[in-house]
Amino acid sequence: MIDASENVLGAPLEPCSLAPMTGFFRNGCCDTSPADRGSHTVCAVMTAEFLAFSKMRGNDLSTPRPEFGFPGLKPGDRWCLCAARWTEALEAGAAPRVRLVSTHRRALEHCAMEDLRAHAADLS
């Protein structure tokens, strides 16, 4: 069962990406549930710096894995990241920008709202 689809701004959760298809449920949204142990709730805009950081930490997001239907990510792609990984990247100075309207409210269990706002890609 998917948790209520509400973003960190208190509004309905908007899709993160349909191409590439993202999300724990591969529905394009950063929806979550108790089955999502990694809390794939942060809609992040990929950067070369973050992709290199993630690969260095053992999660290669840039290499295609066709056997899993994964095209590999490139800078500019949006992807539902594990909230703890985003915070780890923040602490290392490699956090990608975040789309708040597409970031699930459960991300706030691992990320501070002020940090998400400071990295917002969708606020002027």
The tens digit of pLDDT for each residue in 44-54 reads: 999 999 999 99
pLDDT at 3 over 80: no
Quote the pLDDT of residue 69. Answer: 84
- Asked whether the predicted pLDDT for residue 4 surpasses 90, the reply is no
At residue 85, the pLDDT reads 95
How far is the C-alpha of 65 from the C-alpha of 68, rounded, in Å?
6
Residue 84: burial class (beta carbons within 10 Å; 0-12, 13-18, 19+): middle
pTM of structure: 0.94
Q: What is the mean pLDDT of the chain?
A: 95
Q: Is the pLDDT of residue 124 over 70?
A: no
* pLDDT the model gives residue 68: 85
